[in-house]
Chains A and B, each alone.
Chain A
Amino acid sequence: MSLRKSHELHQRRFSRNLGVGLTLAAFIVIIFGLTIVKVSGTGLGLPTEEVQN
């Protein structure tokens, strides 16, 4: 049997796969956003005094 470009299974499960993909993408965005907020909120950059010295 030759390999077809797109199996019927892929078409049938397209919405499910799309949903999982979008959920994972959203999760990545959330982790990234939380990281930015936490890093900027807790002042992980150099303290002002050190910069002045």
Chain B
Amino acid sequence: MSDASINASTVTTQTRVNEASFGDYFSLLKPRVMSLVVFTALVGLLAAPVPVHPFVGFCAILFIAIGGGASGALNMWWDADIDKVMKRTKGRPIPSGKVEAGEAMALGLALSGLSVIMLGLATNWFAGAFLGFTIFFYVVVYTMWLKRSTPQNIVIGGAAGAFPPVIGWVAATGSMTLEPWLMFALTFMWTPPHFWALALFMRSDYDDAGVPMLTVTHGRRATRWHILVYTALLALLAVGTAFSGIGGPIYLTVAVVMNALFLRGAWQIARRTEDDSEADNYKVERSFFKLSLLYLFLHFGAILAEALLKPYGLGGWS
């Protein structure tokens, strides 16, 4: 056997172990985050008062999702160093050695350009530009700048995740009013309690990675009170939205019930000590985190229900 064939077989064995599959490239797009983007953008699109051709609507949501995925890939490229330290993220394609960081950057940039241009062509250039701004905000403002420099990273960075319903609305109407910004504010105010609850029970992850989460910079007691304050402000906003153009009796019922449960959870978190939490392995914090997922899904689901029932004279207050 020649040297060349030995080398070739060694390389083949190595690449077989670490070779990326199509699924690995797809997971660079953060499919779970993408599902939130798809759902909220869809609600924004359908709640808008201008009807959209179903195929154009489908394309708009698809390209918004691809844009969201592209920003996820760019986030993984930039954060590869801290992703390999954190338990939650070390299985991602770059830290696990399946995908090169440069490949993630190339994929992210290519899909960013494609999604912005295609959304602009499919709907309008205002929506395309807005998607471009959202990608810029998430990658440059949040990932590159704020995430590692301020404990308010989650608060301001949450704006990026809150833009999709506004983009969906703009894709349908070509303009903006108060209603899409209420949907934006709902996601924006929901993000901090959601992530701070996660930071409380993923104890050492952010410490190890040196990310200045509130739990690291201001302590866990302060984080618990921050969750309560943000949840209270969120409750006011969420219930108040019921009386806007996208609200109605269904939304009001959901908002009252879910905000009562969310406030109760935040109050329990604020009252607990670290010893209480460690004793039951952060049971309350974990259930608050799970509830937060249901919270957002049901609020946007209620907005969608109001919009879909409107043509039959059932949705909204009229």
Contacts and interface: CB of A to CB of B under 8 A. Distances in A.
- The finding on whether chains A and B are genuine partners in a shared complex, rather than unrelated, reads yes
Interface of B: 12, 16, 19-23, 25-26, 53, 55-56, 59, 62, 121-122
Contact of A34 (B19, B22, B23, B55): B55
A34 B117 CA distance: 13
B22 A18 contact: yes
B59 A30 contact: yes
A34 B12 contact: no
Contacts of A16: 20-22, 25
22 contacts: A8-B12, A12-B16, A12-B19, A13-B19, A15-B21, A15-B22, A16-B20, A16-B21, A16-B22, A16-B25, A18-B22, A19-B22, A19-B23, A20-B22, A30-B62, A33-B59, A34-B55, A34-B59, A34-B121, A37-B53, A37-B56, A41-B53
B122 A34 contact: yes
Given A8-B12, A12-B16, A34 B21 contact: no
Interface string A28-53: 00100110010001000000000000
A15 B62 CA distance: 23
A34 B16 contact: no
Contacts of A13: 19
A33 B19 contact: no
Contacts of B21: 15-16
A34 to B, nearest CB: 6
A16 B25 CA distance: 9
Interface string A20-31: 100000000010
The size bracket of the interface on A is 10 to 19
Contacts of A33: 55, 59
Given A15-B21, A37-B53, 5 more contacts: A16-B21, A19-B22, A33-B59, A34-B121, A37-B55
A51 B238 CA distance: 55
Nearest to B16: A12
Contacts of B56: 34, 37
A29 to B, nearest CB: 11
Contacts of B55: 33-34, 37
Contacts of B122: 34
Query: Which 5 A-B residue pairings sit nearest by Cβ, starting from the closest?
Result: A19-B22, A16-B22, A37-B55, A33-B55, A37-B53
A19 B122 CA distance: 24
A33 B56 CA distance: 9
Contacts of B19: 12-13
A9 B22 CA distance: 15
B65 to A, nearest CB: 13
Contacts of B59: 30, 33-34
A47 B26 CA distance: 46
Nearest to A18: B22
Contacts of A30: 59, 62
A15 B24 CA distance: 11
A33 B21 CA distance: 29
B168 to A, nearest CB: 17
A50 B260 CA distance: 64
